[in-house]
Structure 1
Amino acid sequence: MGFRDARAKLLDCLRSGNFGHWPWDDLFLKNWLAAGRISESQVIRLLLRCDGSQYGIGTQISPAGAQVHEFFPRDGEVEWYIKAYLDEEGGPAVIEAVFMSIHPSGV
């Protein structure tokens, strides 16, 4: 799966509320969405700012064996880091996004 498909599916999951979070010990630093420091609509806006040059496939393997998608959108002077995978164990009709990291780069 490439940039356009991954971004589209993540956006669909955010809009429908069909997403979860990676269980970091310190969500406050690693996952601003899970910690309530950023809203779903702000993450949607960040993903919409991305183009293909701000995307990559992560080297980390998800527990579901799915590709890990990394996005590096800019918001003004701040570059963000968004890492997620799509859990499709329930089939194509039941896709859940799992956000592993959402924070400014360098945090």
Structure 2
Amino acid sequence: MGFKDARQQLLECLAEGNISHQARNNIDVKNLLETGQISVDMVTDIVKRARGHNYECSPHHTIKSIDVHIIKTIVKAIRF
């Protein structure tokens, strides 16, 4: 699966609320969506703006049969 397919699938899952989180240590450091520090709308906006150079895919560190899709981007601070 390439960037465009991964992005499209992620956007569909976000829109449908098809999101789950695995319980683990340090969740507050790794998952801003789960901790409420960022909203689904904000994640959707970030994903829509991402381009192929922001993307990488690699095997999960312990379960090699699972692909981990990563979108790296810089998010500017938002003041409310």
| Equivalent residues in 2 for 1:35-50, closer than 5 Å | 35-50=35-50
User: Which 5+ residue runs of structure 1 have no aligned equivalent?
Assistant: 78-107
Deviations 1:45-65 (A, max 9, x none): 111111001101123257593
1:59 and 2:59 matched? yes
Q: Secondary structure at the match of 1:36?
A: coil
Contact 2:59 2:65 in 1 (8 A): no
Contact 1:61 1:67 in 2 (8 A): no
State TM-score, norm by structure 2: 0.82
Instruction: Mark the CA change 1:7 to 1:46 in structure 2 (over 3 Å): closer, same or farther.
Output: same
Q: Match of 2:24? A: 24
Deviation at 1:23, TM superposition (A): 2.0
Please tell me whether Structure 1 or Structure 2 has the larger radius of gyration of its CA atoms: 2
The structure, 1 or 2, with the larger RCO (C-alpha pairs under 8 Å, 6+ apart) is 1
State TM-score, norm by structure 1: 0.63
Q: Match of 1:9? A: 9
Contact 2:55 2:70 in 1 (8 A): yes
Identity of aligned residues (%): 32
